[in-house]
Structure 1
């Protein structure tokens, strides 16, 4: 089932936002921030409803098959910056199975994933400051979104302005299987408004 609308209480992402801020404030130009989580929720008649996130172990720097995948496919296709083991997140399969099983026990499903994009043009190494990212997918993101096949792929963009942190969200459907370099389709995000009584 797919939909072009994502429904969400802002609180559903509070744990992810806290993790993203921790990563962002601790990063250096050589050690990029990384934050990734699984989006859990329900499919409704015409929307995907995100209810919470699940965190998993990252094996990007420790699993031989993942390292080989980056060496053979990712780095040649998307650039030498991905030789840095802090670039990218690869979910440990047993952790994903655990998250899926626990979600099913609660009546939830895995809808997709969310990850962090920082204002790398400001905080990255000088030779990478021409790379501007946002809440939109990069070519590498499109590749991974297509590989996962999940219907919902969210990106949280985090930037520092005037001494404060600001963020924005993007939600994306994966590119078509038949067009690997195609764009991702933007999904609409609807945040639940707190209940208030207007007198």
Structure 2
């Protein structure tokens, strides 16, 4: 049975949330924020439990083969906005192998990834505001999720309202290989509660 939900312990995404906030604070209309990480954990009953988050090197702007892939396939299909080297993420393969091996040594598996969506339809340059962004996958996301084949693909959406940042989370299964145009199936998000520290009362 395919996993239908994601279990998240308190604080498991804290490092990623902090990185996403830093990226958002430093972005400009020409330099969109980006944050991406690998999710490690276990399959449990009808779901997946995320236990670790690992950052990895991005070679989107430095690897010749990746640049050619964007020029030949990504930009013609998904739009000129992806000519900006800060749009999209491409994990360094050897680093991903290392993360996978380290996870297996701890009894964990690579479940998938998480990446940032800013409210670019509000803060980006005017010519890039046509696509409304949220915690749901974009057409480009669906393409990459299908290519990676990971069972868990999470999106953190950040937006500024009334002077402060708010966030929303989405979790998605990749598109079915037999019906790639059907979209991504939403996965339920279950958040663990902090453990209560209960003091034993003395009995007289």
TM > 0.5 fold call: yes
> What SS does the corresponding residue of 1:32 show, helix, strand or coil?
coil
Larger Rg: 2
> What SS does the corresponding residue of 2:32 show, helix, strand or coil?
coil
Q: Distance in 2 between matches of 1:158 and 1:138?
A: 15
Q: Distance in 1 between matches of 2:2 and 2:93?
A: 24
Corresponding residue for residue 47 of structure 1:
47
Q: How many residues align?
A: 198
CA deviation after TM superposition for structure 1 residue 181, in Å: 2.1
Corresponding residue for residue 108 of structure 1:
108
**Superposition map of 1:57-72 within 5 A:** 57-72=57-72
Q: Deviations over 1:143-168 (max 9, x none)?
A: 00000000000000001111111101
Corresponding residue for residue 164 of structure 2:
164
Corresponding residue for residue 14 of structure 1:
14
Corresponding residue for residue 97 of structure 2:
97
| Structure 1 stretches of 4+ moved >3 Å | none
Corresponding residue for residue 37 of structure 2:
37
CA deviation after TM superposition for structure 1 residue 197, in Å: 7.2
Corresponding residue for residue 196 of structure 1:
196
Corresponding residue for residue 143 of structure 2:
143
How high is the TM-score relative to the length of structure 2? 0.94
Corresponding residue for residue 122 of structure 2:
122
Q: Distance in 2 between matches of 1:67 and 1:182?
A: 28
